[in-house]
Structure 1
């Protein structure tokens, strides 16, 4: 090999050795940038998971499981139109998604027909048009549960409606249980006899929406994270304000807590059975989602009434077609499904 060739080979090797550290440094920088990018994506995804859900996050598609008497999203009524308030439905579904994102032990406030003892008088009360004692927010004492401010158990501050959903914050082995409202705001103490514990594994993936303004009923079911499908869209008739017997269907969030294939009812002001309502699912006080009333205790079930979807006519209950009431009766699981009443 010539001297020139040897020198050329020598300088080539020197140049190769000199270049290798730069290549290694460049490779290391690329790998670090990739790791940084993955970490940024991971953190962004984690923040997105923690972010409270909003109505915009909810997808709501139609997959009807009940297709009789179905209404469109907007439909004619007399000389105007009515609609399903899907914007409000999505807002409430976002709330349902959010309160279930952290582990909790759930309970239901119960005092149907004062079976767990009449609630004590609240600190500030008045008598309403029905001559019944009510708290400062208008919730009646009858069939309700006393809510005590934490550490102040001399007298309750408010009443909680029968059927309201709560999260239990303390053991139910003591006389008073500390809880956080889901159906209402705040942290309270409640005597344990008014609480039905339903555990920490229950999920609320089936929701019945009742609209007292548009007089309709909608059922939805969860299929994934923020993903819900509409199972039925039907006319309904809710409770009216007419003392001394008929009352409005209260707005709010309640748990389905009792079912009766035939819910017998009395003639107003008496203890005489006047008739029955088929496929009744009770959610608060004496309020049921049920079929068309039959004014004959031994009569046959009536499928439909011209009054459905018109104006409030009931005594607090939510009337709908009897076949739809049966759908709700079979589909909405007790202690596992919600009834959300909106206005």
Structure 2
């Protein structure tokens, strides 16, 4: 019991020192968190002791630092299996596992902070856990990260609709129906992507074909505005004629460069001379040496450019 209490004390202290908490946690809140942690630790130990030898063995392995055991123990409290449901305790174990690189724990922890499920909603903390998973190809993480950058308000560093649309595009291209629906809505509004009814139709139809519950109504409304057939839309043309594995990244680069004032006639996800010339001009004016190709360095440079947040495109005004 004493050793577990010391562990809780150290964890609460580290939380208050964490960069996500320093600005918002007062001294009084820290004290409250401390005593809450102590109370939860006592309750948790008692609940585990009452549950039986299997759970006690799992707890012992978790205390020895086994990430999978920490995650599995967190799941017991998350779902209320053998013990009463307890989100704070579940997230405590998830965090221990997540800090050791356990991807399922990272996802559940990030999703909880995004949804505000059992914890205060914190987009920064959610992004901290989910964006690395998105970069590894987790479709649901890509979708949530995209929504985070769309929902965040200025002057937060997370308020970047173009970067949100980038992550939604990656998930949508891989078949994520909710991302397809949201991307269709973004094209209707011209938020983070060019306003274009054809692209909106494409993504909404893709979502509808996967039985997304809201896509049918959006399509019904959109079809009244369309003057061309879906086969004539430029998005379909791009995919069929000059498809590129980095379509989402190219479209983001084009959109961001246009935000920064570099002339591009088309934001179409097609890798061509106009995009290469714009990148070269961006390099020259900013004294950079970014390669003439889609690369993590290029994406990060454009992502970090603060002008993109301060100077929205005419479509976004």
Task: Tell me if both proteins adopt one fold, taking TM over 0.5 as the criterion.
Answer: no
TM-score, normalised by the number of residues in structure 1: 0.27
- Greater helix share, 1 or 2? 2
If you compute each CA radius of gyration, which structure gives the higher value, 1 or 2? 1
Relative contact order, higher structure (CA 8 A, sep 6+): 1
- Greater strand share, 1 or 2? 1
